[in-house]
Amino acid sequence: MGQIHKKCDEREAVTLESNGQKVFAIFHVPKNFQPPFPAVLLCHGFGGNKSGKSRLFVKLSERLAEAGIASLRFDFRGAGDSEGSFQETTIQTLLQDAEAAFHFLSQHAAIDSRRLGLLGRSLGGMIAILTAPQCGGIKALALWAPVFDAKPWFSKTGQEVKQFEHLGERLHQDFITQFALVDTQAALEVLDSVPLLHIQGEQDKAVEKYHVEQYEKTRKDVAPITKFILLEKMDHEFSDPEKQELILKETVAHFLKYL
């Protein structure tokens, strides 16, 4: 048997409501620190869930708790344990869910509402950026292989976006229409004083070089509080165990520094 790690957090199953449907989440509270705690909201990616690939979100929440930072992992509607249908997912529903989860953190008695951060993975990275200006008071952002906008998915005519599906389920046309209109650059410009960590795999085939270039271009004037990490031979899923350790370490250090 492997070594049993000392428990560093208390976990609470949380049921939120978003537009009349239940959103399920796990709230991690540090054990060895006194409240109020800084906190991070974790937004999973397209077709993902609150645990993350290789349970990376679980591991991150544990590491954050070890550092005295609370966190909330949640399933967007139509994903994981939350109510709703994947086929009914739109950019609007994703934003509604993220804002409901953020409201829970900001209003919780054990949380310091002046020290809140957001982390988003893949499409969840874009949602985190769009959510932050609406919530206000965000102290730090971390992005794992984040989507910038819909342009790489446009057809050659520039009029349509390729169909999106997961496990045979196709997303609603409203998702495609709304995705095509997202202006991530405008949201990032509002957040130009918020420290940002961006981690990307060099061999990412899902979120390709275009997205990294756009983030770098938009954040070039605020370089002192922006950190880009490009991981060699790393895919979109961050499947290399050794590099996963680096990702967790860098992410926790970022939130420790700025929250």
Q: Which residues of 171-183 are buried (b: 16+ CB within 10 A; e: fewer)?
A: bbeebbebbbebe
Task: Look up residue 115 and give its two tokens.
Answer: 């020290």
Task: Look up residue 123 and give its two tokens.
Answer: 């499409």
Task: Look up residue 48 and give its two tokens.
Answer: 């993902």
Rounded Cα distance, 145 and 126, in Å: 10
Q: Are strands 37-43 and 111-121 parallel, antiparallel or unpaired?
A: parallel
pLDDT band at residue 75, thresholds of 50, 70 and 90? very high
Rounded Cα distance, 115 and 68, in Å: 12
In contact, 154 and 133? CB cutoff 8 Å: no
pLDDT digits (tens, 9 = 90+) for 180-237: 899 999 999 999 999 999 999 999 999 999 999 999 999 998 888 999 999 999 999 9
pLDDT band at residue 137, thresholds of 50, 70 and 90? confident
The CATH label, of 3.30.1300.10, 3.40.50.1820, 3.40.50.700, 3.80.10.10, for the domain at 9-258 is: 3.40.50.1820
Q: Are strands 226-231 and 9-18 parallel, antiparallel or unpaired?
A: unpaired
Question: Is the model's pLDDT at 120 over the cut of 60?
Answer: yes
Rounded Cα distance, 127 and 97, in Å: 10
C-alpha dihedral, 102 to 107 to 110 to 113, nearest 10°:
70
Mean pLDDT of 17-31: 97
Which residue intervals of 108-196 are DSSP H helices? 123-135, 173-181, 184-190
pLDDT digits (tens, 9 = 90+) for 143-196: 999 999 998 887 555 555 555 665 566 777 888 889 989 999 999 999 999 999
